[in-house]
Structures are given as structure tokens and as C-alpha cells.
Amino acid sequence: MPTYENAKMIIDALERLEIESENVGRRPDKRSGRKGRSLPALEAIRNCKGKVGVVDTTFSNIDTASIAIKEIKRLANKVTIRRYTVPGLRDVPVACKLLIERERCGIVLATGMVSRKGVEKQVENEAMQGIISVQLLTNRHVITAFFDESEAKDKAKLYNIVVDRVRKHAQNALKLLALPESLTDYAGLGLRQGQRDVGRLRM
């Protein structure tokens, strides 16, 4: 059926253009000449009916979960979202586990803030080790999008870093949920969340 196929191609092309600026469907490697790789991932995300957990904290001074939820809804309006807010980073691991085991989330995006004081590096470490344990106990990914107040002195810059990181990691979570193998198209490309990608080192 040419009509349907044409329409789909056009829609896909348009969508790709729009989406590319947001990283989801970015062509992974311009020099490789491969094209259209992004479409299967995009479509899989669009059709995905899985459940995504989003964890955030009352400690954070940015509403990270809302940023994440907005991005998830923009790309994947068939997924179900479960949000869980806890006091601080140390409460995040068990919240992730509860979202996976009780709410049956297929993947969790854990967001949170690491404060400027020295001890918070330790807190992040404790939370991360707990989150890795959660993943090993449940065989599910928990993607972390933490930020540190000291990443930027300027508040507006900090906010933009957080938005960029949370959105890109929301995209990562959707890719892993909808089409796990799709991240291989972006392998070794020096992708960064919260800053510009560094690109691939070639010899």
C-alpha cells in the first residue's frame, strides 16, 4: 500500500528531524553513512506499553521528576509512569526496588541532587552502590541522573545542565525499555548528559 508506506516514511522523516534536535533519534555516526537507524528505536518507544518508574527527592532544589515525566510523555505516550518521591539520595535505592517489584516497572529513572558539602560525595557513593545492588537483585536497569550543585556556579546554567541530563537519560531509559539493542548504534560515541557530546576518537 503505497499511501500508507509513503505517509509513514514522511512522518518518520519529519519526526526524525524534530527528534534529532533532542537526541533520541540522532543519527549515531555521521561519517559512517548509515541512515535511518533511529527509526526502529523511535517507533519501538512510541509503541511501548511498558511501565517506567521515576524516583526523585524532596532534598533536590530542582523538580527533576517533572522534567523526566514531561520528556517520557513527549516520546512515549503509551507507557505508564510511576513516580516515587523520597526524602534524600539514601532513600532512593529501596524506592527503585519497590517500583520494580511492587509496581512492576520495567525500568527506573532515578533522579536526585548531590549537595556541595564534602560528605555528599560519600552519600552519592552509598546511593549508587545501593542502586547497583537493586539492579543485580531485580535484573532491571536503573538509570541514574544525579546532579551536583557545584557543577555550575550560575543557577541558570545548572538548571540547563539538569534538564539536558534528565531528558537524555529519560531517552536512554526508554530505549533500554523498548529496544535494548538500540543503544549499540550510539556505542563509543562519547555521549554526555548535561554537557556536549565529545564524539568518537578515531585512528
Residue 8 beta carbon to a copy of itself: minimum distance, rounded to whole angstroms: 27
Q: Is 144 helix (H, G, I), strand (E, B) or coil?
A: strand
Q: Which of 10, 13, 17, 132 binds a copy of itself (CB under 8 A)?
A: 132
Count of residues that interact with a copy of itself, criterion CB under 8 A? 73
Pick from 19, 28, 36: which is nearest to 71 by CA?
19
Range in contact with a copy of itself (rule: CB under 8 A) among 4-12, 42-50, 52-60, 72-80: 52-60
Residue 1 beta carbon to a copy of itself: minimum distance, rounded to whole angstroms: 35
Residue 200 binds to a copy of itself (criterion: CB under 8 A): yes
Cβ neighbours for 120, distance < 8 A, ≥ 6 positions apart: 114, 148
Footprint on residues 30-49 left by a copy of itself (CB under 8 A) = none
Sign of CA dihedral 118, 119, 122, 127: negative
Cβ closest to a copy of itself, residue 6 vs residue 32: 32
Pick from 195, 188, 190: which is nearest to 168 by CA?
195
Secondary structure of 91-105 as H, E, C letters:
HHHHHHHHHHHCCCC
Please give the C-alpha separations between residue 153 and each of 149, 150, 167, in angstroms, as whole numbers.
8, 6, 21
Range in contact with a copy of itself (rule: CB under 8 A) among 6-14, 34-42, 43-51, 120-128: 120-128
Footprint on residues 58-97 left by a copy of itself (CB under 8 A) = 58-66, 83-87, 90-91, 93-95, 97
Residue 98 binds to a copy of itself (criterion: CB under 8 A): yes
